[in-house]
Amino acid sequence: MLLLTPLLWRMTQAESHPPKTVEVKPPIDAQKIQLVITFTSAPERVSIVHLGQAVWSKHAPESQEEFSLKLPWPREGGELKFKVEWADETPLSAMRVQLTDPADNEIERSLWGKGTVERVLNFP
Amino acid sequence: MKSFRLFLLFLLTPVLACVGAEKIRVSTFSSVLTEVAQQVGGDRVEVIGHVKPGSDPHDFEPKPSDLRAVANAQLVLLSAKHMEGYVGKLEEATGTKGVIIHVGDQFPSLKLSVQHGDHSHDGEDPHWWHSIRNIARATKIVRDELVKLSPSDKTTFTANASGYLAKLEKLDAWVKSKVAELPRDKRKLVTNHDAFGYFAREYNFTVMPIAGLSKNNQPGSKKTAEVIQAIKAAGVKAVFSEDVANPKVIQEIARGTGAKFGGSLLSDGLGNGDRGTIEGMFKHNVGTIVDALK
């Protein structure tokens, strides 16, 4: 009986103290992000990934594309992963991204490349 | 007579080639710098890594065999930023004629408040290798030092360094892509000791260390209670231990907050097996952090 005492004690302790739960913050609601993308040479295709999910893509985009997305965008900001596919014969080209966040801050980023370029851009 | 001379030259050629190919002797005191020196030096260097993967550089003390190797080295690479408290003794005891390079001191430091008993002072964060940008800087420093020691190998060292820098760039792109899976408001990193400041700065995390810079500096109950409160307020989903640290405190914190134990991170250098390279260290750490905090 004495040998069983620690086991019984632990069992009763576990019952009297149920496991605590994490106070996880509620997920941030999707908010409107405004984007203007400009290319020096129009690519064959461009796509955007946010938090591992594809959120926008376009075949044969114009030299300037303007659109908005609804994304969970915390105060701290966020990243967008761009995949830009220029034709093999296209010379070194650039893409400029102007993002307006839900607080109306305008942030500008750019990337350069040839062929297929994948890059994560930070805002801010 | 002419044929005899030619025969003699034929016999001596391999010997002369061996003399010319004598390797540059490099001693390193950081597992990260061991990899950098091997990658840049390639076949032209013999690298002795004194701090082994999986061991704690904060607690490292050189043994007589380490001192003998340093005495014989042509290049000694130190992590610096006050990581090697024994550096003065090392120079005095070995009388080495080798070039001693304080690698980490050649790029900017993150400043921290270091607690010593009942007082604190400003200090430098020595864990610079959690920034791939800093490892690229270290690569260029090692390349330049090796070229100074053996100018005839400049082409080899330059090509090796360029190849390695391209690998680091690819690794950085992988890290950015993986971290981008995690919303910024969830990037709160609770660890045993304050080792991930450079990582946090590069990839937009907030660090919440339980202890200070050294793992020997364990928190008291008041500090632990404060940390538990801060973790609860921030809604942190997971907390992390480190490979060379006692996980007891972090497990206590996990119990106190209800956050899950996210796993063990490599904080003080490379690990063993798949984690024994810089790429392996980053892939392990970033994968563990992102998957646990998602």
> Per residue in B52-109, pLDDT tens?
998 888 889 999 999 999 999 999 999 999 899 888 888 888 988 999 999 999 999 9
What is the complex's ipTM, to 2 decimals?
0.78
pLDDT at B13 over 80: no
Which residues in chain B have their CB less than 8 angstroms from residue A122's CB?
A: 204
Residue scoring higher pLDDT (B161 or B82):
B161
Of A105, A52, A59, which is closest to residue A81 (Cα–Cα)? A52
Q: Which of A29, A33, A75, A79 to mutate to test the interface with B (most CBs of B within 10 A)?
A: A79
Which residue pairs, CB below 8 angstroms and at least 24 apart, start in A93-98?
A: A93/A39, A93/A40, A93/A41, A93/A43, A94/A39, A94/A40, A95/A37, A95/A38, A95/A39, A95/A40, A95/A43, A95/A46, A96/A37, A96/A38, A96/A39, A97/A35, A97/A36, A97/A37, A97/A121, A98/A35, A98/A36, A98/A37, A98/A38
Q: Does B183 touch chain A (CB under 8 A)?
A: yes
Residue scoring higher pLDDT (A63 or B19):
A63
Distance from CA of B182 to the nearest CA of A (A): 6
Per DSSP, the three-state class of B124 is strand
Predicted local confidence at residue B17, as pLDDT: 46
Tell me the mean pLDDT in the region B142-165: 98
Answer whether B17-172 and B182-293 agree in fold: yes
Predicted local confidence at residue A2, as pLDDT: 52
User: Has domain B182-293 been given CATH number 3.40.50.1980?
Assistant: yes
User: Has domain B17-172 been given CATH number 1.10.10.10?
Assistant: no
Distance from CA of B283 to the nearest CA of A (A): 17
What confidence tens digit (pLDDT) does each residue in B185-198 have?
999 999 988 899 99
Question: Cβ–Cβ of A20/B181 closer than 8 Å?
Answer: no
Of B291, B290, B115, B101, which is closest to residue B212 (Cα–Cα)? B115
Q: Does B287 touch chain A (CB under 8 A)?
A: no
A110 Cα distance to chain centroid: 17
Question: Cβ–Cβ of A28/B204 closer than 8 Å?
Answer: no
For chains A and B, count residue pairs whose Cβ atoms are closer than 8 Å.
60
Distance from CA of B185 to the nearest CA of A (A): 6
Task: Give the separation between CA B29 and CA B85, rounded to whole angstroms.
Answer: 11
Of A84, A78, A91, A70, which is closest to residue A38 (Cα–Cα)? A84
Which residues in chain A have their CB less than 8 angstroms from residue B180's CB?
A: 49-52, 79-81, 120
Predicted local confidence at residue B209, as pLDDT: 81
**Mean pLDDT score of chain B, rounded to an integer?**
88
Tell me the mean pLDDT in the region B143-160: 98
Q: Does B181 touch chain A (CB under 8 A)?
A: yes
b/e per residue B248-278 (b: at least 16 CB within 10 A): ebbeebbebbbbebbbbbbbbbbbeeebbbb
Domain coordinates of chain B in residue numbers?
Answer: 17-172, 182-293
- Mean pLDDT, consecutive 10-residue stretches, chain A (124 aa), reads 51 44 62 97 97 97 97 95 97 98 97 97 96
For B228, the closest chain A residue by CA position comes to A22
Q: How many residues appear in chain B?
A: 294
Residue B76 tokens read as 């000694």
pLDDT-based confidence at residue B3 (cuts at 50, 70, 90): low
Which residues in chain B have their CB less than 8 angstroms from residue A23's CB?
A: 232, 235, 258
pLDDT at B225 over 70: yes
Q: Does B173 touch chain A (CB under 8 A)?
A: yes
Helix (H) or strand (E) holding B82: none
Which residues in chain A have their CB less than 8 angstroms from residue B200's CB?
A: none
Q: Which of B171, B179, B204, B253 to mutate to test the interface with A (most CBs of A within 10 A)?
A: B204
Question: Cβ–Cβ of A79/B185 closer than 8 Å?
Answer: no
For A79, the closest chain B residue by CA position comes to B180
Q: Does B140 touch chain A (CB under 8 A)?
A: no
Note the pTM of the prediction, 2 decimals.
0.85
A17 Cα distance to chain centroid: 39
pLDDT-based confidence at residue B242 (cuts at 50, 70, 90): confident
Question: Cβ–Cβ of A20/B257 closer than 8 Å?
Answer: yes
Residues of A with CB under 8 A from a CB of B: 19-25, 28, 49-52, 72, 74-81, 118-120, 122
Q: Which of A13, A17, A20 to mutate to test the interface with B (most CBs of B within 10 A)?
A: A20
What confidence tens digit (pLDDT) does each residue in B126-136 have?
999 999 999 99
Q: How many CB atoms lie within 10 A of CB B224?
A: 17
b/e per residue B100-128 (b: at least 16 CB within 10 A): bbbbbeebebbebebbeeeeeeebbbbbb
Residue B79 tokens read as 């992590």
Tell me the mean pLDDT in the region B177-187: 96
Predicted local confidence at residue B230, as pLDDT: 87
